Structure 1
Amino acid sequence: MTDLDPEDQKIITLARSARARTGTPEGAAVRDTDGRTYAATTVALPSLKLTALQAAVAAAVSSGAEGLEAAAVVTASGAVDEDSLAAVRDMTADARVFRADASGAVQETV
């Protein structure tokens, strides 16, 4: 998929960068309806576990976002985790969710 909107490519790049910087299994980024972006990675603490996409959605919500336009997750997994999708859908039912590999190539749009 090479015809991505530059704003969609931006959140994929942010997700890739977050993942690479921390060495976590996943990196994610979301864009809210005001155009602001939030990036996060997998959180795996003894008392708190979040997928990268859940963490990015939480960052958006805690910053006052009222909805999402799009989300991206960079993962080696063959699918976007159901709990991750649920977090996005809780904010906006029809937001695009891109699943990309470590190179940033989009493997799927949900």
Structure 2
Amino acid sequence: MPELDPEDEKIVVLARSTRARTQAAEGAAVRDTDGRTYAAATVELPSLKLTALQAAVAAAVSSGAEGLEAAAVVTEEPMVLGASVQAVRDLSADAPILRADPSGTVRETLR
């Protein structure tokens, strides 16, 4: 993988630290079109289940974000779940989605 832009590296670090802090299955972060970042972890409650990216997108939207520049998810899974991709695509048709492993190494970029 090519070297990451510093702003993309920042959201990977945020996603990784959120996952580690909460010990969740996934951590995610998004950057909106104003440059603000939002991080979240997997939510698994009896009445509510969200992927980390869905939760990060929800945080961005609830703060007034109208679009996304980029998203990152840190997971052990070999692919980004469709529901996560769709949450990002609801706000941006072309924002890159970085999938990183728990060490923070980006394994894939979805466009």
TM-score tier (shorter): over 0.9
Mapped to 2, the partners of 1:95 and 1:8 lie a distance apart of 11
- Percentage of matched positions with identical amino acids: 74
Match status 1:51 vs 2:51: yes
- The whole-number CA distance in structure 2 between the counterparts of 1:98 and 1:21 is 20
Q: 1:2: Cα distance to partner?
A: 4.8
Alignment length (residue pairs): 110
Query: C-alpha distance in 2, partners of 1:4/1:42?
Result: 24
Superposition deviation, residue 38 in structure 1: 0.1
User: SS at 1:71's partner residue?
Assistant: strand
Aligned CA-pair RMSD = 0.6
What CA distance in whole angstroms lies between the structure 2 residues aligned with 1:42 and 1:36?
20
Structure 2, gaps ≥5 residues long? none
Give TM-score scaled by structure 2 length: 0.98
Runs of 4+ in 1 over 2 A off after TM superposition: none
**Structure 1 residues not aligned, in runs of 5+:** none
Q: 3-state DSSP class of the match of 2:80?
A: coil
